[in-house]
Structure 1
């Protein structure tokens, strides 16, 4: 049955609905107003910043990397600008097809494809990656003409690192390489992420790594207004990049070159320092490598060759490889005997040519012995028997305690990465080194071998040079350093790397004078006399021959031993004898007697440094002179 409503009822019902609708409308408008207030007032700063971020794009400006030069201004690491062809894989539909098309315009080798694949594997975001570096002007023109055909491919001007000296001093300079995940972690840990925006490369080894903060510079930025499509409309503001600082070294590149060429194809190392400052004049490790191979991302075949080469060219023998010092250890043993009171200068030992200890006969190098031997003669003729007896009298603890302040068996703190500690043997060291209790016991016979620089003794050429420098510098031991100045590229202001004395060892001057005089005698009438015959300056030195493997009582005959099992050749030297300005240590791997291989290299180094004498053949092909002339 239909219910009839009066007009008044209908009107009242309509008014009720209207009121409800009005309340709902007011509530909706209230919510909109509240939301508007929240967005426009409460969240104004946030959304204003977001809007600005969408409108403004920050484009990083990568700074010029600082130069590295030797002490005379010869450039060892520099930059140059060139065009690279880059691909953003995420914006390319068919990567392989695109590369094939590009190869008709630009020469793309298989190694370029392999490098791109490697970079893609290492990249998380698949940003712009180089497919070809250093395009020629003709290749640039060809690509620009066909650019519209290659979305996701662009031409960029990039700065490239160049090492004009090639392999010379490469272990010192190091190299840069593309930033990988481990580098990113280190950058983030150092809270330096913003400064590396836009930077693709970072120092990987050598000074390029240890002085990365100075060399990198400060990244600049351009604030660019962009439209909704991301296209640049106008430049709003520009903060220029600040170039990296230049690093000037204590290194003398000519000395470095002479030494490297003196080694020839032999393996080994030389470290030469200024005793009075710790400045490194030459740091050679041979064989070497060309750091330019790493700049664009080293090719797999080059990497395999460097890693599988049995001569290990990537190994920095000067600071990482530790060798038994052989007879070069004897002057330090003699100084230890004087300092501890175990010997006096005139105390004489009768040398029968051997020393018996614990049922074992330790042989001298001279059959029948050297007769009566005092300390001076023991160094000049390198008498093993003298030091067998001395080591037994001093004891291993006394030897270790004396040698430790000279820097043996510890890192020197040189401003290069990858330094080894070496081994200064002692009962405590042996307990740490070996796990089984029967291996941890120290035997008296081991002390005898330590006395002549054999046994567990193992030191780097840097440690030998540093210790010798401390002795001839009257007991003041300096931290070795290769950087001399850090120069602000903008202002030219120099920050000097000040010499850092680590400690002063209280040697008696009379003891030092005796050791120095005996080492001068080595080169006048002893084992180094042939190498330094006719030298117009007075030089102190000591030869050393270090066994690579145990003879087990047999006789060593060099020609019957495999080349890599032959003795190592050592020579340490300082000059001039009255006021030393250079101290050096030379090691030739498997070079035989120290006088035979290492001493002649030291002679060439000292002839140049003291006299300016350049060996024949080097002046005619002098890369350092060519670079300076440029």
Structure 2
């Protein structure tokens, strides 16, 4: 059987090959045409648009945050500076990648839930998805080393050195300087477009105190830099830069040594101290005790720390000298006395007989003077000077009742009572200096004679802050010139000029009478503060004690402190100024639940004035010596004693030499006379 033989069809195969080559060539030509078209479209038609997008992906504009201005006291001691700190920031646009990065970071350094909460809040506020967001501040050297070793695993993680706010005196000036804190979402929503630009790259803003009220000058002006980044947002190089402008420095009237003395003299008790430069209104010291460490707030305070501060029964976050309102008690008696003189209701010599109590005409209610409980009687014959020096309530009840609410209310405003002082820090409260209109608006009631009785000794509806009482003392010391209190003395090279709010024109003899009465409080043998203020005094001063009642006492009951809880006892107050002949400093002291204005508050005022006028400073934490026994005072007295003894010896020697010389001259004269005879 013959096999069929198959031969290849070369012609058919050649035709098939040519068709395939043609198809492939056509396909390749189409691809080349498409590529050429896209190349033409990218490089020629839409070149500018795509070039711009490419540049944006490669080059980013980063803000250069300004250095915050520094804050100094009057002696150029730093109260707020900027401290170098290493901050961990994360750049990531992908949520999954971000979570993986954070989990890896947790294995390397400590990251608390509080840190994460603040990080995610800040991430929502960022303006660009590749802006770095701080995750941890104040990295330790060990943490920085661990991050550096694992840098190859941490895409989008940056460790940068930056300046953060630092308060070297911690709680000493917390209520004055305030603090900076992280910019919150509420802050961001309140910003204008200009502010958004200015705060770009800045994570902190002044939250309280001087940091807040002078935020605009402390902040400075933001700069910018163009940087080249990779696809993950990491900076490869800086292309160009416009430097930021540092914020202005502030120089305050505050004296750190005086502030330390006031804190030491308070001996840890709750209260406030304010000292004012009588000639300018500058605040020399402002203490609110207890305080807190403002450094806790700078990079965002943790929940536990804030809860501890907020729940503290002593309320360390509460600014007592600016916001605490207390009945001023007898500290306003000099104002009431001057009002009586000013309106002609009384004169310097007019006296009343004080039985130790007071009753309104037609009323059976008895108002008891403090002397009734102490001695069983009154103060006897009392004029204005005695009324102030012995703090006779009966005298001022009588004077206030005869003067009436309208004159008394209008006169008190000349001293700033019931008014905001206008001090250059926020959140000031203005107290209450009541009037008929005030009571009707606030209480819906008419004004009663009993209200006038209470108001005339600083009780009833009357409330004042320690700052206001310092202004009252300063205004009396200035004989009616009321300055606006200020903390800031100079911004950069620009001086803050003193601001006179009001001048009360009263007769010199009226002011002299008030000065004499307040001087007798301290130096008079029966003055309420004589035992506690005058020992070892090297200058004359004026003062007035006061007691602010915390709880009401029944009509026929006696005040017994031992039966009251400590926080229900009376507050102690004292105002003072010195030297008497030419006042330079005015002080107001309030010690909570300390009861005795003369025994507890007055010595604090004396220590502050001794420090300012004589340089007898105290240090917090050290034992407070008895008044007049400061080491510097003892040395001074010893040197004076040595100098006096030396002068006495020299005087005696000179006298003996003169006698001897006189005797010799007499002998010579006699001999000459004999020779001539």
Bigger radius of gyration:
2
Aligned pairs for 1:174-213 (under 5 A) are: 174-188=178-192, 191-213=194-216
Is 1:509 the equivalent of 2:502?
Answer: no
User: What TM-score, normalized by structure 1, do the two folds share?
Assistant: 0.85
Is 1:300 the equivalent of 2:297?
Answer: no
Is 1:135 the equivalent of 2:147?
Answer: no
| Residue equivalent to 2:241 | 238
Shift of 1:229: 7.4
Rounded to whole Å, the distance in 1 between the matches of 2:241 and 2:573 is: 58
| Residue equivalent to 1:463 | 468
Rounded to whole Å, the distance in 1 between the matches of 2:334 and 2:265 is: 26
Is 1:549 the equivalent of 2:551?
Answer: yes
Shift of 1:157: 2.0
Change in 2 beyond 3 A, CA 1:49/1:466: farther
Rounded to whole Å, the distance in 2 between the matches of 1:555 and 1:232 is: 77
Rounded to whole Å, the distance in 1 between the matches of 2:123 and 2:55 is: 29
Change in 2 beyond 3 A, CA 1:600/1:227: closer
Shift of 1:603: 1.4
Q: Is residue 119–residue 135 contact of structure 2 (8 Å, CA) maintained in 1?
A: no
| Residue equivalent to 2:451 | 446
SS of equivalent residue, structure 2 residue 202: coil
| Residue equivalent to 1:531 | 532
Change in 2 beyond 3 A, CA 1:236/1:105: closer
Change in 2 beyond 3 A, CA 1:84/1:122: closer
| Residue equivalent to 1:4 | none
Change in 2 beyond 3 A, CA 1:265/1:96: farther
Is 1:120 the equivalent of 2:120?
Answer: yes
Rounded to whole Å, the distance in 1 between the matches of 2:236 and 2:105 is: 30
| Residue equivalent to 1:68 | 71
Change in 2 beyond 3 A, CA 1:475/1:212: same
Is 1:288 the equivalent of 2:291?
Answer: yes
| Residue equivalent to 2:370 | 365
Shift of 1:431: 1.9
1:160 to 145, 152, 164: 164
Q: Is residue 371–residue 379 contact of structure 2 (8 Å, CA) maintained in 1?
A: yes
Mean Cα deviation higher: 259-268 or 330-339 = 259-268
Mean Cα deviation higher: 511-520 or 81-90 = 81-90
SS of equivalent residue, structure 2 residue 261: helix
Mean Cα deviation higher: 258-267 or 343-352 = 258-267
Shift of 1:90: 4.8
Change in 2 beyond 3 A, CA 1:52/1:315: same
Shift of 1:334: 0.3
Shift of 1:214: 1.2
1:401 to 410, 415, 418: 410
Post-superposition Cα deviations, 1:380-407, rounded to whole Å, max 9, x if no partner, equal 1100000111111111111110001211
| Residue equivalent to 1:576 | 579
| Residue equivalent to 1:608 | 611
Aligned pairs for 1:204-603 (under 5 A) are: 204-224=207-227, 235-357=238-360, 358-367=363-372, 368-434=377-443, 437=444, 440-487=445-492, 494-525=493-524, 526-532=527-533, 533-553=535-555, 554-603=557-606
Q: Is residue 251–residue 489 contact of structure 2 (8 Å, CA) maintained in 1?
A: yes
Shift of 1:352: 1.0
Change in 2 beyond 3 A, CA 1:457/1:97: same
Q: Is residue 125–residue 185 contact of structure 2 (8 Å, CA) maintained in 1?
A: no
Q: CA RMSD in A?
A: 2.5
Rounded to whole Å, the distance in 2 between the matches of 1:229 and 1:345 is: 84
Shift of 1:233: 6.5
Post-superposition Cα deviations, 1:136-192, rounded to whole Å, max 9, x if no partner, equal 333223212212212343222221111111111110011100000222234327x32
Q: Is residue 115–residue 136 contact of structure 2 (8 Å, CA) maintained in 1?
A: no
Mean Cα deviation higher: 75-84 or 224-233 = 224-233
Shift of 1:131: 3.1
Is 1:146 the equivalent of 2:150?
Answer: yes
SS of equivalent residue, structure 1 residue 242: coil
Shift of 1:616: 7.3
Change in 2 beyond 3 A, CA 1:354/1:48: farther
Q: Is residue 92–residue 151 contact of structure 1 (8 Å, CA) maintained in 2?
A: no
Unmatched segments (≥5 aa) in structure 2: 1-39, 625-677
Unmatched segments (≥5 aa) in structure 1: 1-31, 488-493, 622-630
Shift of 1:351: 0.7
SS of equivalent residue, structure 2 residue 462: coil
Rounded to whole Å, the distance in 2 between the matches of 1:617 and 1:400 is: 40
SS of equivalent residue, structure 1 residue 278: coil
Rounded to whole Å, the distance in 2 between the matches of 1:403 and 1:342 is: 15
Shift of 1:617: 7.2
Q: Is residue 156–residue 234 contact of structure 2 (8 Å, CA) maintained in 1?
A: no
Shift of 1:99: 3.9
Rounded to whole Å, the distance in 1 between the matches of 2:304 and 2:620 is: 33
Q: Is residue 177–residue 297 contact of structure 1 (8 Å, CA) maintained in 2?
A: yes
Change in 2 beyond 3 A, CA 1:48/1:443: farther
Q: Is residue 261–residue 620 contact of structure 2 (8 Å, CA) maintained in 1?
A: no
Change in 2 beyond 3 A, CA 1:150/1:351: same
Change in 2 beyond 3 A, CA 1:594/1:227: closer
SS of equivalent residue, structure 2 residue 333: helix
Shift of 1:599: 0.7
Rounded to whole Å, the distance in 2 between the matches of 1:345 and 1:512 is: 10
Post-superposition Cα deviations, 1:484-517, rounded to whole Å, max 9, x if no partner, equal 1111xxxxxx111111111111122221111011
Rounded to whole Å, the distance in 2 between the matches of 1:238 and 1:128 is: 18
User: What TM-score, normalized by structure 2, do the two folds share?
Assistant: 0.80
Post-superposition Cα deviations, 1:197-216, rounded to whole Å, max 9, x if no partner, equal 10000000111111111111
Rounded to whole Å, the distance in 2 between the matches of 1:598 and 1:215 is: 36
Rounded to whole Å, the distance in 2 between the matches of 1:482 and 1:378 is: 35
| Residue equivalent to 1:627 | none
Shift of 1:232: 5.4
